[in-house]
Each structure stands twice: as structure tokens, then as C-alpha cells.
Amino acid sequence: MNSVISILVGILMFSVIIVIHEGGHFYAARFCGIPVKEFAIGMGPVIFKKQGKQTLFTVRAFPVGGFCAMDEDEEAVDENSFRSKPVWKRMIVIVAGAFMNLVLGFVIAVIFHLVSGIGITSTIAAFSDNSASQKAGLMINDDIVKINGMRVFSSGDIIYALRSDEDGVIDFVVRRNGQLIAINDVRFEMEMSEQTQKPVLKYDFKVYSEKITAANLIPYGFKTAAYDARIVILSLRDLIRGKYGINDLSGPVGIVTVISEAATPEGIDWDFILELAALISINIGIFNLLPLPALDGGRFVFLLIELFRKKQLKAETEGMIHFVGLALLLILMVAVTFNDIKNLAKRSDADERASVRICRTYETGGISYAQSTAR
């Protein structure tokens, strides 16, 4: 029963994220005086519709997307049409969806910390027995500032930096008694990952946790949202560089499956669902800003070109470019969905539950934290 509820929560979560995204476009368009033909939740056949004064509101059969239909790919016919508006107004409308996803991600991150009641610091609290990092010079109460040159803002950054390392040799910069101290060539033990069958660094220290208060709630929410954004950008970079392939991508089917595994005999792991929802919302926001045809970022690029050329590209030409981009994105979505279904068919509950939690800052595969906040 809990698994069914988790799946429904996953579908609802996607719907809310899409509604917020398209709602950003909708209200920005209304603010700029641009009529919206249709505001749709979902894709495919219409199962519910309601005609407003200017807009047709619809709910469609498949909850995997949505759209806010304006006359973007049509030549200007009157003063209220999209292409007749100043460039700066059209830019606001185009980026509003992604902006709202980033805001939603931050809000969910704040709710996550409010519900969990715990914030994870980047300050070392304890070491395991025979800790290599302690022998190399790290000390309790050291605040980790950099790892291999990467600036650390949150405990999530520590996890990403350590898990991304391939040889187990780490350079640290820590803040100790107000001074920055470099501790280089710290050699960690490597162990074979059961999920990836690749060697991964074995953590040998813990970091402090602290209770969430009115004073630190917003800062922790911001840190979590910023970490999610950073992870998305770095992952896109790694994807472009070829570090990840099509088999490493996941779509709605795969993500809803992961959410379903937040259900245990004891109940549903709402902390995990909230943390994942924040990541997905920020991921969608950033992905939509990529300068690719059919995406908001691609449309924004055309507006930048128009701004410098002082001339619009023909609506038919721009529409065709976005149509080709959309077709390619749909092909990618089909491929990713097929990959999700293939992985689902051979999924092992016990092993997969461990692997999907590696994005968390204090679960299996992540760095441990010390419950005590005393330093």
C-alpha cells in the first residue's frame, strides 16, 4: 500500500512541478499583456477542459508534461501578440517558467529541512578507527573549505567531491581556529561499489549535524538548493564530456520508481521524497534554460539574436527549428523511458534501495554525520 501511495505522490509531484513551471509562463504572459490560448496539465488526449475568458484550461491523459500555448511561432497580427511585444517582455515570459522551478526547488528545500529538523554541516565531528584522513592531518572541528580545489558550501559538496575522485588521493583546505590550512595528498582506502562495479572512495570521518532553528532554516534551504543546482550543472558537464551515457539518464518512469522505493514497512520516507522533489524541480528549471531548440533557453537565444540584429527571424523559420528540436527531444525521451523500463525489469529491491540513496547527505553511500552538536 505504501508503494502505491509513493507512486501516486511521485505522479502528483511531477504534476505540481510542471504546473508551477507553466504557471510562471502563464502569469508572466498575463503581466505582459500576451494572451494565452491554452494552459494544459499533462500531454495526450484531453480528459477535462474549461474555457476561461481568454484561455482554455485542460487536463490531459498523461501526467508527464504540460504547456502554455501562446502565438510564439506566428507572425505578429496585432499589438497583443507575442512577437509584437518588446524583446524584454518576451524574455521575461520565456525565462519565467524556469525561474519558478528554481524558486519552487528552494521552497521545497526549506520544507525538507523544516520536516527533517536537521542540518548537516561541513565540519568534521569524528573519525573512524585507523582513519587515513586523521593520520594525514585532519582534525576534529576542522571546517572543510575546499576538496581538490572545489569550493565546499555544504555537506553535499563533500559527498560529490569525494565520490567523483578516482584515485583516492585528496587535497583538502580546512578552516582551523580561523586560519586556512592546506592538507594535501590524503590517501583514502578504495572499495568496490556493488551498484556500479567501480572503485569508490571509502569515507573515514563524520561531520556534525545541528538542529534546524528559525535562524538557520533559510540558509540551509538555500545551501541545499544551491547544491542541487551545482550537481545538475556538473552532471550536465560530465554528460557532455562522455563520463555518463544514455544508460545513466533517467526519465519520469525511473524517477517515479525511485520515489516508490521511499516506501518501507515502517512507512514512507517523506524526507527523501522532499529532497528528491527539490532536486527534480531545480533540474527541470536548469535543463529548460539550456540553449537548445524547443527549450526555453533556445527561445531565449533567438531573442538575444533579435536584440543584437534589431530584426526578428521569420516565425516560420524559427518554428521549424523548434519543431526539429522538439522531435529530437521526444526521441531522447522515448529512449530514456525505454531504458527506465529495461532497468525496472531487472531491478533488485535491496540493491536498488541502497543505490538510489547516494544523493542524500546522510544515507547509505553518503558521508555519515554525528548526532551530537557539541564541539
Per annotation, catalytic residue among 22, 72, 275, 363: 22
Residue 233 carries which side chain, given as an amino acid letter? Answer: I
SS3 call for 162: helix
Cα distance between residue 184 and residue 181, in whole Å: 10
Predicted local confidence at residue 64, as pLDDT: 72
Element (H, E) at 145: strand 143-147
pLDDT digits (tens, 9 = 90+) for 142-154: 999 999 999 998 8
pLDDT tops 80 at residue 29: yes
- Please name each of the domains of the chain with its CATH number: 91-115+214-375 (no CATH), 118-211 (2.30.42.10)
The DSSP bridge pattern shows strands 205-211 and 368-370 to be parallel
Q: Does the annotation count 363 as an active-site position?
A: no
Residue type, 277: A
Strands (E), 149-241: 150-151, 169-176, 179-187, 190-192, 199-201, 205-211
Digit-coded pLDDT (tens) for 288-310: 999 988 889 999 999 999 998 88
Q: How confident is the model at residue 349 (pLDDT cuts 50, 70, 90)?
A: very low
Q: The whole model's pTM is what?
A: 0.81
Give, for 128, the enclosing helix (H) or strand (E): none
Are 197 and 89 contacting, i.e. CB atoms less than 8 angstroms apart?
no
Higher pLDDT, 106 or 232: 106
With cut-offs at 50, 70 and 90, classify the pLDDT of residue 247: low
Max mean pLDDT among 68-77, 192-201, 217-226 falls in 217-226
pLDDT at 371: 46
Alpha carbon separation from 37 to 29, 55, 64, 81 (Å, rounded): 11, 5, 20, 11
pLDDT above 90 as % of the chain: 39
